Structure 1
Amino acid sequence: MFQHFQVQTILPTQQHLGWKFSFFYKQRKISGLYHPNGQIDWESPLTFLENRNLIEKQVHDLMLFHIYDHER
């Protein structure tokens, strides 16, 4: 469903602020900030997304893989 999912850690000082992520969905670039508590702040307008809940679930699943499983 997503293409080119990318994650970048945000570490301005000693405090971990979260992860910046981006991906393409239906030929549109979508980006946002994923917080350590699982909250998502979207940087891209999501007004065209008809399946927002499904997309947020997939972002959570991908972030769990990139944050926890991938770093082992």
Structure 2
Amino acid sequence: MLTHFQFKPLFENKNIPGWNFSFYFKKQRYSGIYHQSGKIEWTANTPEQDDIDVLTSQIHELMLYHVYE
């Protein structure tokens, strides 16, 4: 389970899609960029391949809830 999820717009003009995000998972901090297409670009500490699918799904759900609601 990921904790301390945070996000902020990539650009000053908040109408331009794209967000920086960060969270903790298994006591490790991860961060990345969430693109409008749903693509995730990891910028720090790429998760292990076994965890990427689960984390990607959770990030999509959180972004849909917070950004696109």
TM-score surpassing 0.5?
Answer: yes
| SS class of match (1:43) | strand
CA drift at 1:68: 1.4
Identity %: 35
TM-score, normalised via structure 1 length: 0.81
Q: Is the 8 A contact 2:29 2:45 kept in 1?
A: no
Runs (4+) of structure 1 exceeding 3 A deviation are: 12-15
2-structure distance, mates of 1:55, 1:30: 10
State whether residues 7 and 66 of structure 1, in contact with CA within 8 Å, keep that contact through their aligned partners in structure 2. no
TM score, norm. by length of structure 2: 0.84
Worse-superposed segment, 7-16 or 20-29 = 7-16
Please provide the CA RMSD for this pair: 1.9
Number of aligned residue pairs: 69
